[in-house]
Structures are given as C-alpha cells and as structure tokens.
Amino acid sequence: MFRKRLISGIVLVILAVILVSLGGVPLLFAVALISLVGQFELYRALSIEHKSIAFIGYASTVIYYLLVMFEGRAYMTAMIVGTLMVFMTAYVVTFPEYKTEEITTAFFGMCYVSVMLSYLYLTRALGDGRYLVWLIFLSSWGCDTLAYCAGMLFGRHKMAPKLSPKKTWEGAVGGVLGASLLGFLFGTIFAGYMDEMQSPAYTCAFACGVGAVISMIGDLAASAIKRNHDIKDYGNLIPGHGGVLDRFDSLLFTAPAIYYAIQFMNEFVI
C-alpha cells in the first residue's frame, strides 16, 4: 500500500507541476475535469449521482468553466444564481420527486467542488500568477506536514476529536506559523521575478497563513461529510489515495483563500 501510495503521489506531483507551469487552457481543462470527477464523487456519497438534478449540476459546471475560459467572469455570480433558479425550477416541475435536501445538495456540490476549485486556475491567471499559484500548494501541503510535526512534538489539546482525533490545537498553530514562514521565504526568493507586488515576502506570508487556516477547515469539512454518510473514501480513482476529493479536499478551500488574500494585500494594504 505504501509503495502504491508513493508512486501515485509522485505521478500527481509531476502532473501538477507540468499543468500549473503551463497554465492557460491545459490547466483550465484539467481543473474542469477534476471538478466534474469530484462533483460526481460527492453526488455519489450523497446518493444522487445518477438523478436528473445531478446532470443539472454537471451541466452547470461545464457552463461555469466556459465562462472562465472566455473571460466571462463578470457573469459568474449571475450564472451561479441562475443555476440555483434552474434547480428550484426542477424541484417545482417534478414535485414531489425530489426532497428539498436533494436539491440543496446538488446545488451545494456544484459550488463546493467546481466553483471553489476554479480558483486554482484564477490564481494562476493573476499578474505574477505563475509564481503566486504555488502558494496554494505550499500553504495546503506545508501546513499539513508542519501541523503533523508540531502535533507530534507538542500536541496536547484535541482540536476536533470526533472528526479527526489526531489533530491538536498545538499542531494547528504550528501548521499556520510554518506555512506563513514558508510563504515569507518563497516571497523573498522570488521577489525579483514579481512585477505587480511591492512587498512579495509579506504578501506571500499573509496569503499562506490565511490559506493554512482555511485548509484545515476544508480538510475537516470533507471528513465531516464522509462521517455523516459512513464512507471511508470518496472513491478509488487514485491508487493509495482514494478519490479526487480525498486528495484535493483542502485545496478546495485553500485556492479561493489564497486568491482573495492576495487581492486584499494588493488593494488595501500594499
């Protein structure tokens, strides 16, 4: 199992490096595909994957990414509101085929997976995005690793015993501080390559710190969904890692957190 997990992890890292480095259409298509697979996994966990409302969700994801591709970002909010209206129309027209919970779940799945993960591409599309996009991975994976180390060394107080018994507040603090430090070092090293930020080191440190906090919430949120529905993994697509959502759960939260933290620093602080 360890060997399988290691090989899968190496392949994932290589693919991530290639696609994120390329950016543009290849990254957009990859993120859109991952979103659709992740959306299916979530719908399957919630037992609606083959129902007609699920296909409304899949179609909404495709339309959403077409808007992203063709720079229709000004219409994204309108599109999300429109998607909700379509779901509610289906709810009314087919009543009483679906329960309220199924409709809200289908809409939630589209926003939770597809919209949140799209910020990986949107961050890459920013000015200096070829560097800033790596903060998403640095914050998420750095926090996870450093939180584990800090928790092993200093962990005493359980953070969420019912969801993740091994997570501690000491580990969480160590993860956030460690991620912020990694961000600061990253910003310092690549400061000379970033043209649109006045203080890259502090911006990267702040973004990674915010992303680290949010990534832990994302990880626990994914665990809560699995526990509520008595499943161990969302799928088995990635050998040794489970499904797409099992591997990208924290990134769903980290990507938009990094994007808006950078925007905040650029517009209101720097």
* Amino acid letter, 255: A
Q: Is 63 within 8 Å of 82 (Cβ atoms)? A: no
> In degrees, to the nearest 5, what angle opens at C-alpha 124 toward C-alphas 137 and 37?
70
Could you say which of 125, 155, 176 is where a domain stops? Answer: 125
The domain tally of the chain equals 2
Could you say which of 125, 141, 174 is where a domain stops? Answer: 125
Specify the pLDDT at position 233.
74
Q: Are 111 and 142 contained in the same domain?
A: no
Q: Are 198 and 113 contained in the same domain?
A: no
Q: Are 97 and 155 contained in the same domain?
A: no
228 or 81: which leads in pLDDT = 81
Q: For the residues 8-17, what does the mean pLDDT come to?
A: 79
| 3 state SS for the chain | CHHHHHHHHHHHHHHHHHHHHHCHHHHHHHHHHHHHHHHHHHHHHCCCCCCHHHHHHHHHHHHHHHHHHCCCHHHHHHHHHHHHHHHHHHHHHCCCCCCHHHHHHHHHHHHHHHHHHHHHHHHHCCCCHHHHCHHHHHHHHHHHHHHHHHHHHHCCCEEECCCEEEEEHHHHHHHHHHHHHHHHHHHHHCHHHCCCCCCHHHHHHHHHHHHHHHHHHHHHHHHHHHHHCCCCCCCCCECCCECHHHHHHHHHHHHHHHHHHHHHHHHHHC
Q: Is 237 within 8 Å of 225 (Cβ atoms)? A: no
Using one digit for the tens of pLDDT, what is the confidence trace for 56-75? 999 999 999 999 988 777 78
Q: For residue 258, what are the domain limits?
A: 128-270
Q: Are 91 and 113 contained in the same domain?
A: yes
Could you say which of 75, 101, 125 is where a domain stops? Answer: 125
Using one digit for the tens of pLDDT, what is the confidence trace for 223-265? 888 888 788 777 666 665 677 888 788 889 999 999 999 988 8
Q: Are 69 and 177 contained in the same domain?
A: no
The pTM assigned to this predicted structure is 0.90
Q: Are 120 and 33 contained in the same domain?
A: yes
Q: Are 138 and 86 contained in the same domain?
A: no
Question: Any bridge partners for residue 149, and if so which?
Answer: none
